[in-house]
Structure 1
Amino acid sequence: MSFLDITRGQSPLVLGLPHTGTELPDAIANSLNTTGRALADTDWHIERLYDGLCPDVTTIRTRIHRYVIDANRDPAGHSLYPGQNTTTLCPTTDFDGTPIYKSGQAPDAAEIERRRMAYHAPYHAALEAEMERIKGLHGFAILYDCHSIRSHIPFLFEGTLPAFNIGTNQGTTCAPALEAAVYDICTASDYATVLNGRFKGGYTTRHYGRPQKGWHALQMELAQSSYLTEDSPPWLYDTAKAGRLRAELSRIFDAIATVAQELPR
């Protein structure tokens, strides 16, 4: 698919990058208002942050922006966080609750279904195929879903978000040893860390996290303040901050690789 970037490796690890894209089809771009066209809710520079950290890794990235359709939302439209503010499969507001479409131009049910079939379904078909391929090589596969977000978003959460936000849907999406290894590296670092806090894992983590099948999944939501100059426009990558963070991410991948040697085949 022309909007998907897929790199096939041979290691047990698969990286999902559903929110780094900034491309908008012309018709959708023209229907967005000034807030929408600012693309503020992009996972800015995450593909750069993770690049080269894990040898021989498989990556699946969509270049389409999440305002077109959110590849990390339930395709049936069910909320992953009932009772809490969130955005929908085809978002109509940004993370501040501000409308992103011009008046009367938000997608209707037919347009949402068209986008689901055009973008959401192919992304997940590719992800599932890679998980199956990797399991065929090793007897298991580990999905690490890469995300980032502004550290201050009152519409979504109170206070300041920790740098490391690990989601395993209360420990159900991966082997306990994997969860523990990642959490231990994060808490041993100088970065604030939370496990299954505001972000417990989106659709991707919950859907592919099937340890009984040999599919393990976790989500890492990073506070953008940990690697950007500021988590505000123009969303500049801070090489010094990112370098420090990359060192910890590399330790996380080393720990995952160590645990992987003991996972059931």
Structure 2
Amino acid sequence: MSLQRDFQTVVPFEVCAPAQQRIPFVFNSPHSGHYYPPEFLQQSRLDAHDIRQSEDCYVDELFASAVPLGAPLLRAHFPRAYLDVNREPYELDPKMFNEPVPSYANIRSVRVAGGLGTVAKIVGEGQDIYKSRLPLNEAMDRIETIYKPYHHQLGQLLSDTRAQFGYAVLIDCHSMPSGVEWGEPNSLTNQPSRPDFIIGDRFGRSCSDALSWAAIELLQNMGYHVAHNKPYAGGYITEHYGRPHRDFHALQIEINRALYVNETSLERLPSFATLYRDLAQFMADLTALPDYVFLRHQQAAE
């Protein structure tokens, strides 16, 4: 099985938790994993550097201040190119496998069409990962031994948080290539506008509006350019766990990689430390929002 073969010396994911959870927040970094199993690399046509193009480099480190604030941080060690837990469990491209995929697999999603299903076909700007088709059981093993336990862990963290505090807030942490465009071109330079951050809430469906606007305002007050839902409104995790009417709020945060990392070498820039400090302050302010921001849906229903 994939877990026994590929993760003998490294756990596929872990929870970094405070001694006692003090705030109703859970932070999640599902795409920052950078342990590439040797057999996986042997299956790939890419080298150990090029295969990292879809990785959310160092995002788990950027949000590490959540733990001393009193919130757990769930982080993946497996890479997104190996398995993407921000997808439905069975978004599979049948052309990737030797055998037919199960009838219940979602083979027609937009993400599968783009090569970015649960087991991705490509990284970066369309570079194929694999040398040849995979045995279907390769994908099914990854889903059974890593994907499902990951989501079980995330769901348990959120359920425990709501039980303790009356509501739970999931902050799903990601990064994006610097080339992502936003809105109209700059009127002075006629160059495309590019956001520093994108806040995604599934167009208001995954969390309290007040949470989204608080996040946007906090970042803007720090001098960052912030977009809302475009072009990233939140993936499967935000959509699946964001149930504000049940006191589960989910917000996705995308960070422009050019703020902190050389996108070619993947080395941290000197600005990494500044961004780390800004995010620590951002998290401290965001997690200090009053309860009514999150409970008003329940109050309205009453």
TM-score by length of 1: 0.87
Aligned partners of 1:36 and 1:100 also within 8 Å: no
Aligned partners of 2:170 and 2:251 also within 8 Å: yes
CA distance in 2 between counterparts of 1:41 and 1:204 reads 17
Match of residue 98 from structure 1: 127
CA distance in 1 between counterparts of 2:201 and 2:42 reads 37
Question: What SS does structure 2 have at the residue aligned with 1:143?
Answer: strand
Question: What SS does structure 2 have at the residue aligned with 1:14?
Answer: strand
The residue type paired with residue 30 of structure 2 is: P
Match of residue 268 from structure 2: 237
**One of 53, 56, 60 as aligned partner of 1:47:** 60
Q: Shift of residue 70 of structure 1?
A: 0.5
Match of residue 72 from structure 2: 58
- Structure 1's unaligned 5+ residue stretches are none
Is 1:33 the counterpart of 2:45? The answer is yes
Match of residue 189 from structure 2: none
CA distance in 1 between counterparts of 2:38 and 2:111 reads 33
Question: What SS does structure 2 have at the residue aligned with 1:40?
Answer: helix
RMSD over aligned Cα atoms: 2.5
Match of residue 161 from structure 2: 134
The residue type paired with residue 36 of structure 2 is: L
Match of residue 189 from structure 1: 222
Question: What SS does structure 2 have at the residue aligned with 1:258?
Answer: coil
Match of residue 208 from structure 2: 175
Match of residue 8 from structure 2: none
CA distance in 2 between counterparts of 1:132 and 1:209 reads 12
Q: Shift of residue 161 of structure 1?
A: 4.0
The residue type paired with residue 7 of structure 1 is: C
Aligned partners of 1:185 and 1:251 also within 8 Å: no
More moved, 243-252 vs 202-211: 243-252
Aligned partners of 1:143 and 1:217 also within 8 Å: yes
Aligned partners of 1:90 and 1:107 also within 8 Å: no
CA distance in 2 between counterparts of 1:256 and 1:222 reads 16
**One of 206, 210, 224 as aligned partner of 2:257:** 224
Match of residue 163 from structure 1: 196
CA distance in 1 between counterparts of 2:109 and 2:207 reads 18
| Equivalent residue pairs, number | 257
- Structure 2's unaligned 5+ residue stretches are 4-10, 92-105, 186-191
Q: Shift of residue 80 of structure 1?
A: 6.9
User: In the TM superposition, what are the counterparts of 1:13-24 in structure 2 within 5 Å?
Assistant: 13-24=25-36
Aligned partners of 1:74 and 1:80 also within 8 Å: no
Match of residue 248 from structure 1: 278
